[in-house]
Every structure is written in C-alpha cells, then in structure tokens.
Amino acid sequence: MKIAFVYDAVYPWIKGGAEKRIFEMGKLLAEKGNDVHLFGIKWWDGDNIIEYEGMTLHGVCGKQDLYINGKRSIREALIFSVKLFLPLNKEKFDIIDVSVFPYFSCFTVKVISLLRRTTAVLTWHEFWGDYWYEYMGKKGFFGKNIEKLVYLISPNNIAVSEMTKNYLESLGYKRNGVKVVSNGINIGYIESIPPFNEEYDVLFAGRMIKEKHVDVLLKSIAELKDRIPYIRLCIIGDGPERDDLTALIEALDIADNITMTGFLEYDEVIARIKASKIFVLPSSREGFGIVVIEAFTCETPVITVKEERNASQYLVDETCGILTELNEGQITEAIEKLLNDDKIHLEMSENAALKSKDYDWDSIVIKYLQICEELM
C-alpha cells in the first residue's frame, strides 16, 4: 500500500505527540512493506526529499514559526497548505492521511483526493469545539466553524481517543462513522533503554505552552519544599512559556530544586522518566497523552488532572496513578502521597507496566491497515 501522511511538524526535528505518532506508525508501516511518504515543512538541511527510517520525507516549504505569541501561527498553516498542493499532487497514493490541526491542509488534501480519486483520511488528535472561544476570544467563531467544516468534507475520520470520537459524533454527521486508532509505544525499545544516572522525584515532559500548566506544578514543588527540602523536579521540553516559567522558578525560590533540560532526544527522555519516581502531567488539553503510556512502560506512576479536554485522564486510574483537580494543593497532596508511601508506589508502578502492554505500536498499526483497506 502506498500511504502519504500530511503534517507540517516532522519528528524528530519537532517533538510532540502527533509528530511521534506519525513517525512510529510510518516507520513500522514501511517495515511491513508499505511505501510510506510524509509531507511536511522542510525542517532538515539538504535536499527537499530525503529517505529517513524507511520513509520518504517531502519538505514542501522552508522552515516556519509554528507559534506566534504562544499560539499556532495561522500564516504558517496557510503557507503550508498552499505549498503542499504541487508536491502531493505529483504522485498517486492509495491513502492520504492528513492530521487535522492545522486545518487548512485538509482542504488541500480534499482537492487532491478528488483529482486523483484517492482515499483521504482525516486523523483527529483533538477536537476543540467551544474551546476555540477560550483560545481566541470572539475570533474563535471562525476556528470553531472551520473545524466543523473540515469534519464535513470527508467521510473517513480517525480519532486517536474515544473522547475525541465522542466530540466528533456529537456533531451528528457520521457517514462511515469515526474509527478510533489510539496512539501507542514501542514497548521493547523503551524497555531496552537504561535509566538515567541521576534520580528525580518528579518529572514533566512536554511543550512549554499555557495549556500544560507547568506553573501549577512549580507552585506545588514550592509548597512541598517546606516539608521535603531536597525535592527534585526535572522539566523536559521548551516552548513559548519558558521565560515566564524561569522567572516563576526564581520568584518561588526553587531554582536549586529544578532541572530544565530543554528538548532531548527520545532515549534521553525515556532514561529520565525511568529515573523518576513520579510523572506529572497537569495539562488541561491533551488529545491522547502518549507520554503517559511511556511513563507506564517505565514503571512510573502518573498524576494528571480532571479537565474536560484532557484525554490522558482516561488512561490513568487508581491502580496506576492519581487524578486530581487542576490546582497546586491537590497536586501537592498527590505527589506527597506517592513519595511517602512505598507500598502504594510499588503497586502503582507494577500496574502501570501491565497497563502499557495494551498500547504496543505493532497491534495498533495492524488495526490501522485494516481500517485503510475497508475505506479504500
């Protein structure tokens, strides 16, 4: 099968859940004998088209700023969607799988699918709905309606979580229905990585954007410092909130308790998760939360929050972690509980490892291929 993935951000040059999903699925699909192509922004040096991990990567335009003032750039999304047309239209594919956000590239893929009589699949990592108003104020009206229009232009929709599927089907327009193909992990590879040589009490990994609420975690660490003076938090990642978070660390007087690494290679991230007692994800918006499953594989219990648009909360239960409200008091209490009760921590660690077995990429890719064959 000849498959094209379309997404502006490309792993490992840009690191995030959607990027990692496409990379892992594409690599494994190629290993299974499929001809896999990825059309994105050219983040790499050298030729526009390169071979990488068994896939063919197409750089359709030069590097762009993905974020402007902490929000996804509309200009970048428009440029990518326009520049995408000619490279994608040069070849005939069996399936074109476009990640829905940013939306404009979906319209480009729709036109090409009609011209080429190719099956287009829309993969939804999230569904925002009324959240658009929170994100953009009154201008959110346009985002909300463009999102709905994107759902209407294709009968073939894949959601990465049941939460996103339910949001989409609430629009009342199903045709082929919404299929769920969850994110996954390479369990064997993660298990082969040794832990980092420095231990942490708490770890966060992700983009430093407002919705991740790293500031709430920092305030929890400041509270805990009074009772656990040498508590250590490792923050992996970067983003538009970094300067504000650095200033907050200084204001809270917890600089000696915090390690900020910036973005790291995948092996380094996993090594540090393995060296941490607790993984905390205080995010109010997650389309899935691959890093939660990665933490489970590392036998690291997870604390996350009960927020309407946080799909990772559906991965965590009382056997493998703790769900709290999004406030530093409850997060502080949960961290302290796991740090002070070795028995509960051990039980959760063992259960987390067991739960991760349901998310191996190999079985997920088999399901994905079956769905593609049904839709063609």
Where exactly are the structural domains of the chain?
A: 2-184+360-375, 187-358
DSSP 314: G
* pLDDT for the residue numbered 173: 63
d(CA 39, CA 60): 7
Contact assessment for residue 202 and residue 234, using Cβ atoms and an 8 Å cutoff: yes
Dihedral (CA of 330, 335, 341, 343) sign = positive
Q: Checking DSSP bridges between strand 200-205 and strand 233-236, what pairing results, if any?
A: parallel
* pLDDT for the residue numbered 176: 66
> Among 186, 160, 365, 361, which Cα is nearest to 270's?
186
Tokens at 33, concatenated:
């004998």
User: CA angle, 38 as apex, 37 and 44 as ends, to 5°?
Assistant: 120
- Helix spans in the chain (H): 17-31, 74-89, 104-116, 131-136, 140-153, 162-169, 187-192, 214-225, 242-252, 266-274, 290-297, 328-340, 342-356, 361-375
Q: CATH class for domain 187-358?
A: alpha beta
d(CA 348, CA 352): 6
Tokens at 295, concatenated:
């933490």
SS3 call for 364: helix
Segment-wise mean pLDDT, segments of 10 residues, the chain, 376 residues: 97 89 96 97 97 97 88 91 97 96 94 95 92 88 91 90 89 76 93 97 95 97 95 96 96 97 95 98 92 97 95 95 97 97 97 94 94 92
Contact assessment for residue 125 and residue 101, using Cβ atoms and an 8 Å cutoff: yes
The pTM of the full predicted model, rounded to 2 decimals, is 0.80
Helix (H) or strand (E) holding 181: none
Tokens at 193, concatenated:
């990585």
2-184+360-375 and 187-358 share one fold: yes
Domain 2-184+360-375, what architecture? 3-Layer(aba) Sandwich (3.40)
* pLDDT for the residue numbered 102: 86
d(CA 126, CA 267): 26
User: CA angle, 274 as apex, 271 and 233 as ends, to 5°?
Assistant: 90
Q: Could you tell me which residues come within 8 angstroms of residue 261 by beta carbon, excluding any fewer than 6 positions away? A: 234, 235, 236, 237, 268, 272
